[in-house]
Structure 1
Amino acid sequence: MQRRKSIKNMALLAGGLVALPHWAKAWSLESLPPMALPPLPMLEGNTLALIIEAIIPESETKGAKSLGVPAFINTMLADCYEKKVVDNVEKSLARVEGIAQAKFQQGFAALPLAQKQALLLELEKGEDKDLKDFYSLIKNLTIQGYTTSEYVQTTFLKYEMVPGHYYGCVPVKS
């Protein structure tokens, strides 16, 4: 065994343990880099929120829009998907606006919920691969964001953070 190398490693370890508390207190939320802006411009982001609202609308329970699913999808697009996919989402959101103008002579935002849902159903069953991919992605992310929200997990799925509670003092029959 090399005694000098061992002593050096122990000294480095001791120095690291002394410096660790200072390092752990040195960062804060303000010192972290700012989060990137959402990948979608405001108009497209609004259209995205309306599409999400049409997929899971408000009823006696909260809808996807009120649970923050648009922010979830923006974060997922920014952090988890390639630029090609995000570009397709942007183009498809603009095309949805164009389809609504052509078919109903008004923007997607002005349409009643039934017409929005009918337009989205046409996208899902249509022949255009880019629009089908776009709608499939948005629908899947909406369902994922909605079902993993705290509201749905605790209200409907009875999610327990630590399942299998341990009851320590239980009388035992002899």
Structure 2
Amino acid sequence: MDRRKSLKILGGAGVGIAGLAIADWKWHFVDQMTHEGFFSWKEEKMISAIADTIIPEGLPAITPSPDSKPIGALSTGTDKFLIKLFEHCYEVEDQNLIKSQLKELGKTNFLNADQKGREEILMAMANSENEDEKKFFDLMKSQTIFGFTTVKEVMVDYYGYKVAPGKYEGCITIA
């Protein structure tokens, strides 16, 4: 056995793995710095956190099968739906309201809070005297629920939706 050759191979593999880890970190860093889109990188993370707070990942009371996986707003892509919805389907006034309220929410350390802390912050917005905060919360809640309940996983697995519900069962057996 050639130990030098084996050590070179193991060293090369270690350097390759470390290089991949650094490249992954750099990719996230570059994505934050060069993020292009209607919402900033932080605003998109905030929308994802709000959706996850409203519909956290977990199993519902009635599961379609015993081996069902936990389902939530993030696992179904509801946060991505919300980002596209607000960017393409809302008027400029509503978009400005969303952006301003996301900015205000960013001042409350919302992203670093745990689930209970996030719920408290959102409930304070829901019960606020400020009309913009109430409107923002109602909009986020209603659209998150809409996005979650209309996704394929929920419609097919939990509501029993069938794309073509009718089927023809003829009276002749085919042999």
- TM-score when scaled to structure 1? 0.69
Match of 1:70 among 56, 79, 96: 79
Structure 2: which 5+ runs fail to align? 1-35, 60-69
In structure 1, the residue matched to 2:170 is 168
Deviation at 1:134, TM superposition (A): 0.9
Give the greater-gyration-radius structure (CA): 1
Deviations 1:83-124 (A, max 9, x none): 1111110110111122x2xxxxxx211111011011101111
CA contact (8 A) 1:38 1:74 kept: no
In 1, Cα distance between equivalents of 2:74 and 2:172: 45
Deviation at 1:159, TM superposition (A): 0.5
CA contact (8 A) 1:52 1:70 kept: yes
In structure 2, the residue matched to 1:130 is 132
- TM-score when scaled to structure 2? 0.69
The 1:166–1:46 alpha-carbon spacing in structure 2 relative to 1, beyond 3 Å, is same
Query: 1:131 is matched by which residue type in structure 2?
Result: E
Match of 2:96 among 87, 95, 104: 87
1:11-50 matched pairs, under 5 angstroms = 38-50=37-49
In structure 1, the residue matched to 2:143 is 141
1:51-70 matched pairs, under 5 angstroms = 51-60=50-59, 61-70=70-79
Runs of 4+ that moved beyond 2 A = none
In 2, Cα distance between equivalents of 1:131 and 1:39: 21
Q: How many residues align?
A: 128
The alignment yields a C-alpha RMSD, in angstroms, of 1.5
- Between the aligned residues of both structures, percent identity stands at 27
Structure 1: which 5+ runs fail to align? 1-36, 101-106
In 1, Cα distance between equivalents of 2:80 and 2:37: 8
* Local SS of the residue matching 2:111: helix
In 2, Cα distance between equivalents of 1:87 and 1:38: 15
Deviations 1:23-55 (A, max 9, x none): xxxxxxxxxxxxxx6421111111111011000
